[in-house]
Amino acid sequence: MPPAVWTGVVAETLQTSAFRKHRGYPMAFTPSKDHRRREREQKKADKRRAREEAKAEKLAAEKAAAELAAEKAAAELAAEKAAAELAAEEAAKQAAADQEAQIEAEFEAELQAEIDAEKKDAEKKETS
């Protein structure tokens, strides 16, 4: 064999033998610096994700509380409005009743005046 072919065969033989040498025997494994870096980055990413989720939950809770407060304020406003309308209705009814009472009182006064006038006329006729 020529020397160029011989070096390729030797290199191929060395690679396969090195592969077969450690194939069944596990070597002591120490994580590489790159693996440690990836673990640190993953840990940081997990912490960041947890912070963002907590922040989102807090924001959602604040939003829900604000909506609840707004609904409560709207309900109170509606109750006040209903109370004001009821008071206005009562005031209108009272005004109508007062007006009716005044008309009734005027009518009674006129009727009494007519009765008194008739009595005076009757007394005049009797005395005359």
Query: What tens digit of pLDDT does each residue of 88-116 get?
Result: 999 999 999 999 999 999 999 999 999 99
96 vs 122: CA distance, rounded Å: 38
**5 in a domain, yes or no?**
no
Transcribe 32-85 into DSSP letters: -HHHHHHHHHHHHHHHHHHHHHHHHHHHHHHHHHHHHHHHHHHHHHHHHHHHHH
**75 in a domain, yes or no?**
yes
84 vs 68: CA distance, rounded Å: 24
The residue segments making up the domain with residue 116 are 31-127
Per the structure, the count of domains in the chain is 1
**87 in a domain, yes or no?**
yes
**45 in a domain, yes or no?**
yes
pTM of the full predicted structure? 0.45
**38 in a domain, yes or no?**
yes
**26 in a domain, yes or no?**
no
pLDDT tens per residue, range 45-89: 999 999 999 999 999 999 999 999 999 999 999 999 999 999 999
**15 in a domain, yes or no?**
no
59 vs 12: CA distance, rounded Å: 63
